[in-house]
Amino acid sequence: MTVSERIEQLKSEALSAVASGDSTAALEAIRVRFLGRSAELTEIKKSIGTLSPEERKEVGRSSNRASREIEAALDSRTEEVAAREREERLREEAVDVTLPGVPFPKGHLHPSQRIIDDVVDFFVGLGYRVAEGPEVETDYYNFTALGIPPGHPARTMQDTFFVDEGLVLRTQTSPMQIRTMLAQEPPVYVVCPGRTYRRDSDPTHTPMFHQIEGLAVDKGLTLGHLKGTLAAMARHVFGEDVQIRLRPSYFQFTEPSVELDVSCFICGGTDPGCKVCKGAGWLEMLGAGMVDPGVLEEVGYDPEEYTGYAFGMGPDRMAMVKYDIHDLRLFFEGDLRFLRQF
Ligand code: PHE
């Protein structure tokens, strides 16, 4: 066999190998085998110098042509195979976005939290600031500064949890009135939601409950401003046709003092045995009043220049009315069957 014949043979071997190469890796191996540094065709090219001049010309031409043809076949076949491999990879890696996801359990807002959010939103809309304070409170902020000094009979009414000498679990959010006024100059417009504690437990009382305190101190504030504000708040929370009434009351830190009642949503005042309003037809919603001048003096405000009103409400109680829940204790037992209803 002449060298030229061997070249033809190698070329057709290479071309048929290329035609059946079915992966880019296999084609790369074919390239090395037929065109690599130690391939037979390469060896032939290296030996050209040792051939006779006629052979040299002939072998040079045919070996170069063979290389070019093999090269071209490899390139086009590789392009084809690479495209197919890319397709396959895309198909394998495809994500079916229509498959159902893993269900994620949805949480619920606690009914009290819904009322708190609602009330706070309402007051923020009026320009009130939101403030929070400590649940372990000093005796001074919780009682003394609010006109309830040691030995005052009102202290026994609040069924206080005493933590330590001079420290209590706050029985009300009213100490935030004192903290707020000591921290700033008037005008004051603030709402303070938070947890409060009393030794009490029955269908409408739990040892831990929530309050939202409100305080406004400015020049020229009157009971009329208080009433209008609270009526608008009650309508915001309970709906436009809610009935309210103010009753005279008494608190040590407001003068005059009032209580705001909302018409009983449960029985509408028709059931003398109603568990929630106890037949009264009205629900006590909050205590309020004009800030006592003695309290203003205690925090260094001039009662001749400024007047103020304060109110404290129970969002838990309000949630009972709004969502028709008859037992307050359900709120804090953590029973998911109850909580999932909201
Ligand atoms: N802190 C009072 C209570 O818990 C409510 C109240 C707040 C009354 C603000 C007047 C003004 O009963």
User: Is 244 inside any structural domain?
Assistant: yes
**Given 92, 126, 153, which residue is the final one in a domain?**
92
Domain co-membership, 174 together with 315: yes
Domain co-membership, 82 together with 186: no
Domain co-membership, 224 together with 295: yes
- Phi-psi sector, 334: left (phi>0), alpha (psi -120 to 50), beta: left
Domain co-membership, 197 together with 332: yes
- pLDDT recorded at residue 28: 94
Domain co-membership, 47 together with 121: no
Domain co-membership, 81 together with 127: no
Cα of 327 vs centre of ligand 1, distance in Å, is: 23
Cα of 226 vs centre of ligand 1, distance in Å, is: 14
Domain co-membership, 291 together with 328: yes
Domain co-membership, 44 together with 77: yes
Which residue in 11, 30, 33 sits closest to 20, CA to CA? 30
Which residue in 196, 191, 189 sits closest to 211, CA to CA? 196
User: Is 104 inside any structural domain?
Assistant: no
User: Is 290 inside any structural domain?
Assistant: yes
Q: pTM of whole model > 0.85?
A: no
- pLDDT recorded at residue 4: 87
Domain co-membership, 247 together with 299: yes
Ligand 1 pocket, residue 263 CB under 6 Å: no
User: What's the domain range around 137?
Assistant: 111-339
Cα of 259 vs centre of ligand 1, distance in Å, is: 9
User: Is 132 inside any structural domain?
Assistant: yes
pLDDT profile of the chain (342 residues), mean per 10: 89 93 93 92 90 88 92 94 94 90 87 96 98 96 94 82 92 97 97 95 88 98 96 89 89 96 75 80 90 97 98 92 85 89 84
Which ligand 1 atom minimizes the distance to the CA of 174?
A: 1
Domain co-membership, 70 together with 172: no
Domain co-membership, 147 together with 264: yes
The CATH number for 215's domain is 3.30.930.10
User: Is 228 inside any structural domain?
Assistant: yes
User: Is 99 inside any structural domain?
Assistant: no
Host H or E run for residue 40: helix 40-46
Number of domains in the chain: 2
User: Is 20 inside any structural domain?
Assistant: yes
User: Is 154 inside any structural domain?
Assistant: yes
Helices 24-35 and 53-93 pack at an angle, to 10 degrees, of 170
